[in-house]
Amino acid sequence: MNNEQLKIPQATAKRLPLYYRFLKNLHASGKQRVSSAELSDAVKVDSATIRRDFSYFGALGKKGYGYNVNYLLSFFRKTLDQDEITEVALVGVGNLGTAFLNYNFTKNNNTKIVMAFDVDKAKVGAKVGGVPVYHLDELEERLHDEISVAILTVPAHVAQAITDRLVKKGIKGILNFTPARLNVPDNIRVHHIDLAIELQSLVYFLKNYPSK
């Protein structure tokens, strides 16, 4: 996102890809207009929040008319830089890493894993999902300036050391799937995704906040 988009609340920014995905589906089905209520039902975000999110970008729709799907799709494509491909590196080609490589964000035409790193001799030199796997020792040599994002799917005890190397090579964003809480400079963005904690949290809410 450019500097203008950085002024919007982070919670809004996180919902933009969700809106974009639904709008792509609407466009593919031939739908021309959509109301905030329809959006709300599809993405499970209340309509007041959707209207507030959209208001940060000016008048995107008219009351009683709804939103023009083609216009919204074009607007959010530009907002999310969908016309520019973000190249991503993945470190750790275990079960989770392999799944990422095979999936490779096929529904997001602006994000692509272009290289992976591991220490397993059986994996190094091969391709997984069409993505070349290099030895971790080659990280500094292989990473280039066009890669600003890395996905970390390595054992927790090596996560910080690898993160330090990624930061030194100019990586600006890390999607961390390890339990380790990484220490990085203030200008580096880290999103922690701990699947075990998310599952534990889900079970807790199911037990303590049952649906009515």
158 carries a ligand binding annotation: no
- Taking alpha carbons only, the member of 62, 83, 65, 63 closest to residue 20 is 83
Residue 145 is encoded by which pair of tokens?
């300036």
18 carries a ligand binding annotation: no
Question: If DSSP codes are grouped into helix, strand and coil, which group holds residue 148?
Answer: strand
Cβ–Cβ < 8 Å for 133, 125: yes
Residue identified by tokens 């530009």 is 78
154 carries a ligand binding annotation: no
- Taking alpha carbons only, the member of 2, 115, 129, 24 closest to residue 69 is 24
94 carries a ligand binding annotation: yes
170 carries a ligand binding annotation: no
Q: Tell me the residue type at 93.
A: V
Q: Point out the annotated binding site.
A: 92-97
Q: Point out the annotated binding site for NAD(+).
A: 92-97
